[in-house]
């Protein structure tokens, strides 16, 4: 089977969040449509965790989401199989070319994915020995491609920690499934679930609502038109400066101030990003965007990560069940 050669410009726009992308990818099969939900976890998992992920992936696929994972044993395989069982689309982001895909026991699974309208994506066409750095690179590509990341069972020491590191750097929203067992096998998942940094996933609709929002608000022209059209209504409903809310979950948080500042805050709520991408997302001149960002930084409304990603200062401070 001959692969397609894809340049970065052929990939979904969110892949530009990757700080060091390869020159090209190779795709066996087809590149499924958005939205993209990545599901990751450990290779050695409980049967209950596998079943939970299998069913979740199926329900998300039935609602139109493409399930993205790494093709490994355990949670990855459960996610891919769940999407296939629901006659949905799934994408393998792999460290090794299709002909020598690992694990070898998943050759039939990968074939079913490709023949079912999904794809197998790798940054290398030539054969190479499996080494740890290729898996770390694969994790970063998987995160860059997804709109949201779902985390299932994993121990404290796991490659999932590397995936979460990339999610932080690229500003991806992370949802953690409730741990099934209080054991070392799920210790990393339990710590992530209890953390205020991530969102706890109790219902599929939480995730689907978020995907719907970012697909709507991610369209620059439509977003600007929304603010232009409803500027008067927002101003009428906004609280006074003294009563201005202090967190994104509070009513009216984005209604205070001028519409350009509100636009910047809305964009960063739904997709944290570097300044250069924010200029394009907002549609303002670069100097104007820089000035707005500087004021928001000084006010403490937003902050910049060590990787240069701008995000709301309060993001990650609350979880859906705390609101």
Residues 317 and 203 in one domain: no
Strands (E), the chain: 4-7, 24-29, 36-40, 66-69, 90-94, 119-122, 148-151, 173-176, 199-200, 273-274, 302-304, 309-312
Distances (CA, A) of 271 to 9, 146, 213: 19, 11, 10
pLDDT of 307: 63
Domain identity same for 204 and 225: no
Tokens of 224: 């600007």
Q: Is the pTM of this model over 0.95?
A: no
State the average pLDDT for the chain.
82
Residue 222's pLDDT band (cuts 50, 70, 90): very low
Confidence of residue 102 (pLDDT cuts 50, 70, 90): confident
Lookup: tokens for 179: 């741990």
**Contact indicator for 306, 297 with CB cutoff of 8 Å:** no
Residues 45 and 176 in one domain: yes
Are 134 and 270 in the same domain?
no
107-116, 125-134, 294-303: which has the minimum mean pLDDT? 125-134
* End position of a domain, from candidates 157, 176, 211: 211
**pLDDT tens digits for range 251-309:** 444 444 578 888 888 888 877 778 877 887 788 888 899 999 999 998 888 988 766 77
Q: Decide which of 192, 211, 230 is a domain's last residue.
A: 211
The three-state secondary structure class of 57 is: helix
Domain that holds residue 318: 220-322
Give me the residue label for tokens 């750097």. 169
What is the arithmetic mean of pLDDT over 62-71?
A: 96
230-240 b/e (C-beta count within 10 Å ≥ 16 → b): eeeebeeebee
The CATH number of the domain where 191 resides is what? 3.40.50.450
The last residue of a domain, from among 146, 176, 211: 211
What SS3 class is residue 196? Answer: coil
């Amino acid at each position: 089977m001959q692969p397609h050669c894809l340049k970065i410009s052929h990939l979904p726009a969110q892949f530009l969040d990757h700080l060091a992308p390869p020159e090209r990818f190779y795709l066996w099969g087809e590149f499924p449509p958005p939205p993209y939900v990545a599901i990751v976890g450990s290779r050695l998992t409980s049967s209950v965790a596998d079943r939970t992920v299998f069913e979740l992936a199926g329900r998300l696929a039935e609602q139109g989401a493409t399930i993205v994972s790494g093709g490994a044993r355990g949670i990855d395989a459960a996610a891919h199989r769940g999407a296939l069982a629901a006659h949905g689309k799934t994408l393998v982001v792999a460290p090794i070319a299709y002909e020598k895909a690992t694990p070898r026991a998943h050759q039939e699974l990968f074939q079913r994915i490709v023949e079912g309208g999904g794809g197998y994506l790798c940054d290398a066409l030539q054969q190479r020995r499996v080494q740890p750095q290729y898996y770390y690179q694969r994790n970063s590509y998987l995160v860059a491609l997804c709109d949201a990341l779902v985390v299932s069972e994993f121990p404290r020491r796991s490659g999932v920690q590397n995936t979460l590191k990339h999610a932080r750097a690229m500003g991806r929203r992370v949802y953690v499934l409730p741990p099934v067992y209080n054991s070392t096998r799920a210790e990393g998942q339990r710590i992530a679930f209890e953390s205020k940094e991530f969102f706890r996933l109790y219902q599929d609709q939480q995730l689907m609502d978020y995907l719907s929002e970012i697909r709507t608000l991610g369209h620059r022209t439509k977003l600007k038109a929304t603010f232009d059209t409803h500027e008067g209504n927002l101003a009428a409903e906004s609280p006074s400066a003294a009563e201005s809310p202090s967190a994104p979950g509070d009513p009216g948080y984005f209604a205070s101030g001028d519409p350009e500042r509100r636009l910047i805050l809305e964009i960063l709520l739904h997709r944290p990003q570097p300044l250069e991408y924010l200029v394009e997302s907002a549609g303002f001149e670069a100097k104007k965007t820089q000035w707005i960002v500087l004021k928001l930084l000084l006010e403490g409304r937003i902050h910049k990560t060590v990787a240069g990603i701008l995000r709301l200062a309060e993001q990650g401070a609350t979880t859906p069940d705390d609101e």
